[in-house]
Structure 1
Amino acid sequence: MPDWIAHILVAWTIGTILGFKFKQFNSANIALFIVGSLVPDIIKITMLFGYLGIGLSKFFIPLHTPIGSLIIATIFSFFFKEQRIALFFLIGGMFTHYMLDLLLFDINGGIYLLYPLSWNQYQLGLITNYDFNITVLSIIISFTVYLISNKIHKRQLLKHKT
């Protein structure tokens, strides 16, 4: 199940790997990438209202669509000096979120990828909501990337000292 841990780790891992090649993927922008990976799940705020007996989940459903997430990410980007760069990294993180969510078998039918153009839902149905293999795999892969990243940074520090 792509839970928040998996979404965060996959975004961090992809951002870190891209950072090996592209200097724009620095720690600040990787943080935006991670935030972007959580933007589609802003719909989870409805859980708080649900505990209070206020049913808002249907109102917030469009936020868990690419267009809804894009609107939220655009609003978030206004808080940054370099709005285009912030939006780029937020969108990149959102992309990782939807790629993970597409893997799910969702009893509700999947993701509204083409909303508002289409109400069709999409899913690959490869894993269930109760399968934490993706989370475990993301932990293992991100830890491996972390070790490799540390080794590369140590080599770079030694190279600059000499």
Structure 2
Amino acid sequence: MADLLTHLLVGYSIGTLLSLRYERLRPAHVSLVMVGAASPDLNRIELVASDGFVAGVFGLPFSWEPLHTLVGSALVTGLLVLLVAPDHRKRVLALVAVGVVSHHLLDILLITPTGQSYAVFWPILEYRIPSGDLYQSTDRWPVLASGSCATLLWAVRRRRDSAASESETPPD
């Protein structure tokens, strides 16, 4: 699952960069970006409940794959936002959407045999964007690169928070 870990680490890095830039964003907000970065992979539910099983239970044709498109991600994001108090929904929507977009951008960069990425815009468009052909989902270097970046940002955030807390305490 190096692919999912990469998405989470990139989501953490983006969320941390946003929290460093905007003081009103706290660590919980970073988690929202990470949730967004992982949400398109909800189609992996198929490993537990296959398409055929769900189709048999409901008696209708079924597939988990549309969850890994922008439209499916938008629907999941909309459902997640409904779980939050109304006065926080705009911020939650924006942060989860940032994570979702980062996930799809990373997936577009995958090496594919056809040279084309998956149908990101399905069911609106069947067009497949040319693949970035940068890495395979089984490669280790994206995890190492995103992990290094996340570790660096974690250290910067921790140092900044400790410096801020030291400046707030009055001298003896």
TM-score normalised according to structure 2 size: 0.84
2-side partners of 1:141 and 1:64: how far apart?
26
Q: Deviations over 1:38-75 (max 9, x none)?
A: 1100100011124x97387x712211011110011101
Rg bigger for which structure?
2
Of the structure 1 ranges 5-14 and 114-123, higher mean CA displacement relative to structure 2 is found in 114-123
Q: Indicate how the Cα distance of structure 1 residues 103 and 55 shifts in structure 2: closer, same or farther if over 3 A, else same.
A: farther
Question: Counterpart of 2:8?
Answer: 8
TM-score normalised according to structure 1 size: 0.89
RMSD: 2.3
Percent identity, aligned pairs only? 21
Uncovered stretches (5+) of structure 1, i.e. residues with no partner: none
Show the 5 A alignment for 1:116-131.
Answer: 116-122=123-129, 123-131=131-139
Question: Counterpart of 1:92?
Answer: 98
- Give aligned pairs, total: 161
Show the 5 A alignment for 1:102-121.
Answer: 102-107=108-113, 109-121=116-128
| 1:49 has 2:56 as partner | no
Uncovered stretches (5+) of structure 2, i.e. residues with no partner: 56-61
State the AA in 1 paired with 2:169. K
2-side partners of 1:27 and 1:5: how far apart?
18
Of the structure 1 ranges 65-74 and 120-129, higher mean CA displacement relative to structure 2 is found in 120-129
1-side partners of 2:37 and 2:95: how far apart?
10
| 1:151 has 2:159 as partner | yes
After TM superposition, which residue ranges in structure 1, 4 or more long, deviate above 6 angstroms? none
1-side partners of 2:145 and 2:74: how far apart?
28
State the shift of 1:121 in Å.
2.0
